Amino acid sequence: MKKLFFLFCMGLFVCGCAGLKYSYVSPEAQNFHPQTIAVLPVMVGDYPSASNTIDNVVSQALVNTGWFANIIDALSLKNQLSASQALSNDMTNYIQKLNTLGVSDKELAQKIADTLNVDALFLASVTSWEYGRQEEDKVGKAGLGVKLICGKSGIIMWKANHEEVESYWLIKPDLAKLSEEVLKSLLAEMPH
């Protein structure tokens, strides 16, 4: 009976704690210490249910680090994008090149950073945000890929990917809380 109870308790809370799934730091990051940063709207892709939550989670996680003198959060940036067609076009073109070609366009990064008056851009994308099954267990998953981009050079100084998985029996885990854990793990590795 004790063994069954122990297995039940372990099944309620199991998180992946083996380190980040992927992390790359550019050699140029050694001398990169941004004081201001803009949090670009999170790309939710196949997980539209994450859109209202994850922008706030990412922005708040960066605020909580205390590393930056000024942070333009995703909501403020969305308002600026709505107010400026030029900024909106630059942002769309920049993200499109980054996603389709895998290239961070230096000139567009500079234009965006200059317009926003920031040293760095932070871009996150949702890689998982769902409930499902993993082997025999019911699980909740939250995963993010992130990029820290120098506004002056357009160089991707750091990129990483991580996912947290929590098993459950009756009560589904809160995906927002899981994403906070993902960001905590990611930001612990971010150069600043």
What structural domains and CATH numbers belong to the chain? 2-187 (3.40.50.10610)
Percent of residues in the chain assigned helix, strand, coil, to nearest 5:
45, 30, 30
- pLDDT reading at 117 higher than 80: yes
Instruction: Report the SS3 class of residue 158.
Output: strand
pLDDT at 168: 94
pLDDT at 92: 96
pTM reported for the whole predicted model: 0.86
CA 124 – CA 148 distance, rounded (Å): 9
Question: How far is residue 3 CA from its own chain's centroid?
Answer: 38
Q: What is the Cα Rg of the chain in Å? A: 18
- pLDDT reading at 16 higher than 80: no
- pLDDT reading at 49 higher than 50: yes
